[in-house]
Amino acid sequence: MLETANGMSRGILVVEDDEQLQTALTKVLSQHGYDVTVARDGYEGLEHVEREAPWLVLTDLSLPGKGGMEFLREVRTQGYHMPVVVMTAYGGVDVAVEALKYGATEFLQKPFPIDRLEKIIQQLDDDRSEPRLTSNGVQEKIPPGEPREGFLTRNPKVLQTLKMLDMIASSSATILIQGESGTGKEVLARHIHRKSSRAHQPFVAINCAAVPEGLLESELFGYEKGAFTGALTRRAGKFEQAHHGTLLLDEIGEMSLGLQAKLLRVLQEREVDRLGSRQPIPVDVRVIVTTNRNLAQEVQAGRFREDVFYRLSVMPFTIPPLRDRPEDIELLAEHFSHRSFLRNQRSCNGFTDEAMKYLKSRPWRGNVRELENVIERGVLLADNGPLQVEHFQFDEPTLTSTSTHAPTGTIWEMERDLIIRTLEAHNSNRTHAARTLGISIRTLRNKLREYRELNGGLPLGV
């Protein structure tokens, strides 16, 4: 893999089944000094990502086998954070929003002028090379695809939390971050990593809810060749990949009790046992865990081990939901709109007073993630003018709750109805429904238990 003089990779992975476009992109990018690798579908793409870790990925959405959207989702699920530019001939607002939701950095609708792609790549290359000043006056590089501003907030409580985290960032203490989905837990974890002495070492993330329960152990601890059917080569797990750096265990509350016990041993002994190996491997890793659940309540309910809970709670922090920090709405809306206008090459003309007032009035049950998606959609609908109320109002579904006991929020209701419809479509087969929804069977069981408790029952057979 080619590298620049400062050691940064020049590798670009192109995932495209059109041979003419493959050739054209390879020729143009090679002329700019990039080391281009080509994959014909999502399966090949994932193999190249795991083997070569390119600094940038270009992917079509319409691919044979594993499609581009699924490929993008798996890249992010497996903890890779390189920029991903999505290309498609079937573009539209819905497709663009879905791609951005799954972690796309840019969206290009075919056919596109080659200079547009060149500008995007040049900007991304400049972003990763641009130095910034730390609190100690030392220049550091911005990791690709990460915001320069870190964790954005004006909320006094969160600012106090950031101050405390800065004080302990250089320690090796395990940190527990709790908060509702979409509040920015992973952003905060990355903030801690950048403030620590491990900032120039790997930051590895894995979503415990997104990896099937049977695969999570091998993903975390790795395996030896022949450890199980399909283990054709030795593979290092996430703990080894994060050696000397930081490992983020996202949604730790979804981990099974048996795997929690094995995690406890790693946290205590600082060594891992690959599947099929008899020799433990020492690891030096700072562990950060996040969850949208109340782990203390999970312990009381018998769904989370008490000893693991106390081991993880050395330094616990909670991020308040966006509705409890209204001063952050305008700050984040302006940040997301500015970034989106630049990404879509449009003039940034801000918000009308009515639009900002409208945004501040919304409950944001999906928190910062929902706000970011709404702003992105608004920018896509705006015509180079200021963002107005009508650019956001289409986002409000008209679903109504059928129970006075269930949470009255469109996000909750949409999720519940989607899960119920998917189960009905699969004749209540939870395994098939979970696969279609892209969640683990454990997550599906927990969701159904939640709906029964809050909604007083579910349709017969669900």
CATH class of the region 11-129: alpha beta
Q: Between 155 and 441, whose confidence is greater?
A: 155
What pLDDT is stored for residue 341 in this prediction?
78
> CA-CA distance, 253 to 208, in Å (whole number)?
8
Q: pLDDT for 43-74, tens place per residue? A: 889 888 888 888 899 999 888 878 888 888 88
Which three-class secondary structure state does DSSP give residue 458? coil
417: confidence class by pLDDT, cuts 50, 70, 90: confident
The predicted model gives 13-34 an average pLDDT of 90
pLDDT at residue 222 tops 60: yes
155 contacts 140 by C-beta, under 8 angstroms = no
Q: pLDDT for 361-398, tens place per residue? A: 999 988 998 898 888 888 877 776 788 888 887 544 43
Dihedral sign for Cα 66, 71, 74, 78, please: positive
Lowest-pLDDT choice from 103-107, 282-286, 405-409: 405-409
Which three-class secondary structure state does DSSP give residue 84? strand
Mean pLDDT, the chain, whole residue set: 80
The predicted model gives 427-440 an average pLDDT of 74
Fold of 322-393: Helicase, Ruva Protein; domain 3 (1.10.8)
364 contacts 370 by C-beta, under 8 angstroms = yes
> CA-CA distance, 235 to 221, in Å (whole number)?
9
> CA-CA distance, 354 to 67, in Å (whole number)?
41
Which three-class secondary structure state does DSSP give residue 207? strand
Lowest-pLDDT choice from 92-101, 105-114, 209-218, 228-237: 92-101
The predicted model gives 136-151 an average pLDDT of 43
Lowest-pLDDT choice from 84-93, 290-299, 303-312: 84-93
Share of the chain above pLDDT 90, in %: 27
34 contacts 125 by C-beta, under 8 angstroms = no
438: confidence class by pLDDT, cuts 50, 70, 90: low
Beta bridge partners of 109: 88
CA angle 182, 184, 187 (to 5 degrees): 140
Q: Among residues 177, 182, 123, which one has the least CA distance to residue 148?
A: 123
DSSP symbols for 138-173: -EEEPPTT--TT-S----HHHHHHHHHHHHHTTS--
Sorted by where each begins, the domain ranges of the chain are 11-129, 156-318, 322-393
Residue 213: burial class (beta carbons within 10 Å; 0-12, 13-18, 19+): middle
> CA-CA distance, 154 to 166, in Å (whole number)?
16
The predicted model gives 152-173 an average pLDDT of 87
> CA-CA distance, 425 to 432, in Å (whole number)?
10
Q: Between 247 and 439, whose confidence is greater?
A: 247
The predicted model gives 181-185 an average pLDDT of 91
Which three-class secondary structure state does DSSP give residue 331? helix
Dihedral sign for Cα 347, 348, 351, 356, please: positive
Strands of 268-416, DSSP E = 271-272, 281-282, 286-291, 315-318
Backbone φ and ψ of 30, nearest 5° = -65, -35
88 contacts 109 by C-beta, under 8 angstroms = yes
DSSP symbols for 391-426: HHHTT------S-SSS---HHHHHHHHHHHHHHHHT
User: Are both 11-129 and 156-318 of the same fold?
Assistant: yes
What pLDDT is stored for residue 388 in this prediction?
87
Q: Between 152 and 96, whose confidence is greater?
A: 152
Is 3.40.50.1100 the CATH classification of the domain at 156-318?
no
Which three-class secondary structure state does DSSP give residue 107? strand
404: confidence class by pLDDT, cuts 50, 70, 90: very low
Strands, sheet with 246-250, edge to edge from the N-terminal-most edge strand: 203-207, 246-250, 286-291, 175-178, 315-318
Record the tokens describing residue 32, joined without a space: 């700019």
